[in-house]
């Protein structure tokens, strides 16, 4: 191998998260000298997909990784306990990738005492996603994967029904109701009274065309008001329908504004049928966003980039010519004209989410119904628990929603006959307990006879939402924001990828050339560009 310090690198990319990996994809045909490093021994950084063994190690590295067993509490510590120590970390030099991040905390795992006897398979049979985001079919990310020819390396699966949990009448008890999102859904829903159907149809027609000159006057003066109030005041939607509409926004605090809520629901509805009947979003097989990150890295490697995992790196000095000198963990020093990394410290103004990842020894088959003739069998189902809908067990009313993404074995994240449930909520002191209740409630609602075999709990915060750019002589240091905490992929993160691409490409950066690649010579639609 050519010596790493033989000459100056055009860029060193630290971390293999999605943003860095998409940058590697964008640069893959640039003929730039690129060194791509990660302090972790796996790809994906904050969006990685982990085997059980990796999940245990990851939890241990992010505050409390002891494996809990039967009858031991699986609740997390109050997040306030770590605030002081995390603030101190903000004063230290920036970490360039991976293991020292303060974005994750209070992680711990629990394992059923008879897990193997109940069906828990070997560790690498599982691929638990740290970022199980769904991708709407109208997402710009999918367009860029197509224009860069990388889409051929990703197998996308359909996201199926959106359900909302709630209480019906005494005769029916509690139930999961599928959220109607089309004219056919509304008129076939037997649980919705005729008058409510008319109100719901009025709203659906409105939101499809909400940004037109005709519809804007209806909502613009109330753009910053809560969407929940607008739904009641203007469309007279009852509580159940209001909860269903809010669930489509995937709002984590329940306080989405009219402007943001209408835009999100519009994206949801107009994405239905774009790639096929019956679904509005997709999910990459084998670990979600992590799979796209690996495809980006693979493209970078084919384009000539050098990759090194398990290689921490630190800034050494600025050379006389303005280059940045870096020291690798093996004491090799290298120099570069641009350094790309991601922010590893949380913002004190950032919200925090809590997530519980659970392996269930049941396929939860009833949640994966085919929604339309000719539609694919979905591999992901979304279940929303509106604010106040969960059994409180003498706890104060929970004023934030909880979401469960249920993944079948078709995702490649667990063996056949099992499923993985990703539960997410905005962090409260009782988050771990609440998520356990939500999991139990979900399994009861779908009449599942399965057991919980394994659980991973953690809390995640955000860094600044803006990229950080600093100059060191004639060299540039660029830091991506941490991944969005949203449950659907946020296209705004692609803007920062293009920003970093322009820094590396310099005068060769043409807007119409970003992520626009022709097929490699001799390649056709059925060929694999990266074989």
Kindly report the CATH number assigned to the domain that includes residue 383: 3.30.519
C-alpha to C-alpha distance for 222 and 259, rounded to whole angstroms: 8
- pLDDT at position 467 is 95
Average pLDDT over the chain, rounded to an integer: 88
**Do 444 and 480 share a domain, yes or no?**
no
pTM: 0.90
- Four-point Cα dihedral 466, 346, 103, 79, nearest 10: -140
**Do 66 and 21 share a domain, yes or no?**
no
- pLDDT at position 2 is 52
**pLDDT at position 67 over 60:** no
**Do 191 and 219 share a domain, yes or no?**
yes
Give percent of the chain above pLDDT 90: 70
Q: Which residue has the higher pLDDT, 340 or 63?
A: 340
Give percent of the chain above pLDDT 70: 88
**Do 446 and 306 share a domain, yes or no?**
no
**Do 341 and 488 share a domain, yes or no?**
yes
Residue 171 lies in a domain: no
How would you class 77 by CB atoms within 10 Å of its CB: exposed for 0-12, middle for 13-18, buried for 19 or more?
Answer: middle
**Do 294 and 423 share a domain, yes or no?**
no
Query: Residue 255: which CATH number?
Result: 1.10.405.10
> What is the helix (H) or strand (E) element at residue 129, kind and residue range?
strand 128-129
C-alpha to C-alpha distance for 13 and 325, rounded to whole angstroms: 13
Q: What mean pLDDT comes out for the span 171-185?
A: 73
User: Domain range for residue 37?
Assistant: 11-45+287-346+466-513
Lowest-confidence region among 97-111, 173-187, 212-226, 272-286: 173-187
**Do 452 and 373 share a domain, yes or no?**
yes
- pLDDT at position 468 is 94
- pLDDT at position 531 is 45
- pLDDT at position 171 is 43
**What confidence tens digit (pLDDT) does each residue in 265-320 have?**
999 999 999 999 989 999 999 999 999 999 999 999 999 999 999 999 988 866 55
**Do 355 and 454 share a domain, yes or no?**
yes
**Do 432 and 482 share a domain, yes or no?**
no
Q: Which of 447, 435, 429, 444 is nearest to 402 (CA)?
A: 435
How many structural domains does the chain have? Answer: 3
**Do 187 and 250 share a domain, yes or no?**
yes
Residue 308 lies in a domain: yes
- pLDDT at position 371 is 80
Residue 51 lies in a domain: no
- pLDDT at position 527 is 52
**What confidence tens digit (pLDDT) does each residue in 359-393 have?**
999 999 999 998 888 899 999 999 999 998 988 76
Q: What mean pLDDT comes out for the span 326-344?
A: 91
- pLDDT at position 87 is 35
**What confidence tens digit (pLDDT) does each residue in 8-23 have?**
999 999 999 999 999 9
**Do 360 and 312 share a domain, yes or no?**
no
């Amino acid at each position: 191998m050519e010596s790493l310090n033989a000459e100056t690198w055009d860029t060193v990319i630290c971390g293999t998260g999605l943003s860095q990996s998409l940058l590697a994809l964008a640069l893959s045909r640039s003929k730039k000298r690129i060194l791509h490093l990660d302090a972790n021994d796996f790809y994906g950084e904050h969006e990685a997909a982990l085997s059980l063994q990796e999940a245990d190690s990851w939890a241990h590295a992010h505050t409390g990784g002891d494996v809990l067993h039967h009858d031991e509490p699986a609740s997390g510590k109050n997040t306030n306990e770590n605030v002081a120590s995390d603030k101190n970390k903000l004063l230290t030099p920036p970490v360039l990738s991976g293991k020292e991040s303060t974005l994750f905390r209070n992680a711990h795992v629990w394992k059923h005492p008879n897990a193997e006897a109940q069906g828990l398979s070997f560790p690498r049979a599982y691929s638990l996603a740290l970022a199980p985001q769904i991708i709407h079919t109208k997402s710009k990310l999918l367009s860029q994967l197509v224009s860069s020819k990388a889409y051929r390396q990703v197998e996308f699966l359909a996201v199926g029904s959106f359900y909302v949990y709630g209480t019906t009448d005494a005769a029916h008890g509690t139930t999961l109701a599928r959220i109607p999102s089309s004219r056919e859904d509304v008129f076939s829903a037997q649980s919705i009274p005729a008058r409510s159907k008319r109100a719901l149809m009025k709203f659906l027609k409105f939101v499809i065309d909400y940004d037109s000159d005709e519809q804007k006057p209806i909502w613009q003066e109330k753009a910053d008001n809560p969407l929940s109030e607008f739904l009641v005041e203007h469309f007279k939607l009852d509580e159940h329908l209001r909860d269903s509409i809010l669930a489509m926004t995937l709002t984590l605090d329940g306080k989405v504004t009219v402007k943001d809520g209408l835009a999100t629901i519009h994206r949801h509805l107009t994405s239905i049928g774009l790639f096929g009947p019956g679904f509005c979003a997709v999910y990459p097989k084998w670990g979600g966003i992590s799979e796209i990150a690996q495809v980006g890295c693979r493209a970078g490697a084919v384009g000539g980039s050098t990759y090194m995992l398990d290689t921490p790196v630190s800034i050494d000095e600025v050379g006389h010519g303005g280059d940045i000198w870096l020291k690798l963990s093996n004491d090799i020093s290298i120099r570069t004209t641009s350094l790309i990394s991601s922010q590893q410290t949380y913002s004190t103004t950032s919200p925090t989410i809590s997530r519980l990842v659970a392996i269930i020894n049941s396929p939860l088959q009833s949640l994966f119904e085919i929604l339309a003739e000719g539609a694919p069998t979905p591999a992901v189902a979304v279940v929303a628990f509106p604010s106040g809908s969960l059994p409180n067990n003498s706890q104060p009313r929970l004023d934030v929603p909880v979401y469960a993404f249920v993944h079948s074995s078709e995702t490649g994240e667990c063996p056949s006959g099992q499923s993985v449930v990703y539960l997410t909520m905005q962090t409260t002191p009782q988050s771990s307990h609440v998520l356990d209740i939500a999991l139990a409630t979900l399994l009861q609602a779908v009449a599942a006879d399965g057991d919980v075999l394994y659980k991973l709990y953690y809390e995640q915060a955000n860094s600044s939402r803006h990229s950080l750019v600093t100059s060191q002589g004639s060299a540039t240091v660029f830091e991506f924001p941490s991944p969005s905490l949203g449950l659907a992929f946020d296209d705004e993160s692609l803007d920062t990828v293009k920003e970093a691409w322009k820094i590396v490409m310099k005068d060769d950066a043409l807007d119409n050339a970003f992520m626009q690649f022709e097929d490699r010579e001799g390649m056709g639609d059925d060929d694999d560009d990266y074989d």
